[in-house]
Structure 1
Amino acid sequence: MKAIIPLLQIGLLLFFAILMFAIIGLEFYIGKFHTTCFDDIT
């Protein structure tokens, strides 16, 4: 039972790290694929 608390702390740290990378990734790629599905010829 003593190992559960450190595992939860590592899991929480990993969750926040993935969340930060997701937010940074969304900021970099926002609007990049906005008009990729449309054909400008028609």
Structure 2
Amino acid sequence: MQQMLIAHNLAIQIIDLGRRGKAFYLEVGILMALSVCPYN
């Protein structure tokens, strides 16, 4: 039971990191698009 809980917590942490990573890349993409826009 203990090992299952540890594995579950690890899975949640990995999923959370993945979500944060996607949000980070999304923000960078938006910032890059905004910085490029005025020059078009």
TM-score range (shorter-chain normalised) is 0.5 to 0.7
Aligned residues: 33
Structure 1 residue runs without a partner (length 5+): 35-42
Length-normalised TM-score, structure 1: 0.65
Which residue is 1:39 aligned to?
none
Which residue is 1:9 aligned to?
16
Query: Residue 29 of structure 1 is aligned with which of 20, 32, 36?
Result: 36
Structure 2 residue runs without a partner (length 5+): 1-6
Max Rg structure: 1
CA-based RMSD = 1.4
Q: Which has the higher helix share?
A: 2
Q: Which runs of 4+ in 1 moved over 4 A?
A: none
Percent of residue pairs bearing the same amino acid type:
12
Length-normalised TM-score, structure 2: 0.68
